[in-house]
Amino acid sequence: MKNYRLKSFSKINLSLRVIKRLKNKYHKIQSYMAFVDLHDLIYVSKSKNLKDKVIFSGKFKNSININDNTITKVINLLRKKNKLKNIRFNIKIIKKIPTGSGLGGGSSNAATLINFFNSKMNLKLKKREIIQLAYRVGSDVPACMAQKSLFLLGKKIKILKANRFKLIFLIVFPNIPCSTKKIYSKNNIFSPAKFISYNSTNNKKKYLNFLKREKNDLEETVVKIYPMIENLIKEISIQKGCFFSRLTGSGSACFGLFSSVKYATMAKNLIRRKFPGYWCKISKTI
């Protein structure tokens, strides 16, 4: 087995409605999602050692538990299914996606590894088994396996026609790692599902106007805990060429959807001057 280099792409929740709290303390949500070219790198090779070796490096490695993370969960769950018998791996993850940001780095890492193992290690897992495995690692993992523009409602996932659109984002992370569990536990905002017709996602103007009128139900909760995020969202939204701005996922990363790279770059420079400690990245849909 050669040394494989995998790209694990980031997700953005263009909208997020919390429909209800479930009996298992999780939540049913509705989200329109996109995947962008911001990515972690994962290197995988077979090891001659008796144990797997998982190493995290890069700017956002520090908050990751080396013994309990989405990578180790995937490997352990596959071994419980009697897969990957007598094989050990060296896995190195270069973290370019901010952790605790709502950009889905950990979920994407797991999804990328599941797809890799199933195809390259010939695991012969059925689609149902793959989805079950993904959910056991994390609730966002099944969606991250698609890595395309999609609609999510509970466990229903539908790929959208909007994949042909190239959307341009300015993503700003204020260096505040948010706990997804904490944010959801404190959230008291619930909304009914709201849809755009599937065929309308083939029309960029209709799709973006729909998204502009949408929201992230978790935003109010995050802002109550971290008030500076409200100011950041407003600052992004007033920049020239910004169509709309909001929180992604459970935060704390915020994004602005821009009409061009030129305007996104201008906004990035202004945001950096106003918030010099914040991490900023221009990213496009893949």
Confidence category of residue 124, pLDDT binned at 50, 70, 90 = confident
Task: Work out whether strand 27-47 and strand 156-159 pair parallel, antiparallel, or are unpaired.
Answer: unpaired
- Residue 154 has a pLDDT of 95
Give the pairing type, strands 53-57 and 88-94: parallel
Q: What share of the chain has pLDDT > 70, as a percent?
A: 100
Q: What pLDDT, on a 0 to 100 scale, did the predictor assign at position 15? A: 98
| Overall average pLDDT of the 134-142 stretch | 96
Predicted confidence band at 1 (pLDDT cuts at 50, 70, 90)?
low
Confidence of residue 85 (pLDDT cuts 50, 70, 90): confident
Kindly state the helix (H) or strand (E) to which residue 39 belongs, with its residue range.
strand 27-47
pLDDT of residue 196: 96
Catalytic residues: 11, 140
Q: Which residues pair with 32 in a beta bridge?
A: 15, 151
DSSP characters for 85-109?
A: TT-EEEEEEE--SPTTSSS-HHHHH
pLDDT tens digits, 150-170: 999 999 999 999 999 999 999
- The structure tokens 């962008």 sit at 36
Distance (Å, whole) CA 163 – CA 150: 8
Across all residues in the chain, what is the average pLDDT? 96
Grouping H, G, I as helix, E, B as strand and the rest as coil, residue 224 is helix
For residue 279, name the pLDDT band (cuts at 50, 70, 90): very high
The share of the chain scoring above pLDDT 90, in percent, equals 93
Pick the more confident residue, 47 or 86.
47
Tokens of 18: 């919390």
Domains of the chain in start order, with CATH, are: 4-158 (3.30.230.10), 160-284 (3.30.70.890)
What are the backbone dihedrals phi and psi of residue 68, each rounded to the nearest 5 degrees, phi first? Answer: -140, 95
Q: Is the model's pTM score more than 0.85?
A: yes
Distance CA 61, CA 200 (A): 40
φ, ψ at 218 (rounded to 5°) = -85, -10
For the cut 90, the answer to whether the pLDDT of residue 55 exceeds it is yes
Note the pLDDT of residue 167.
97
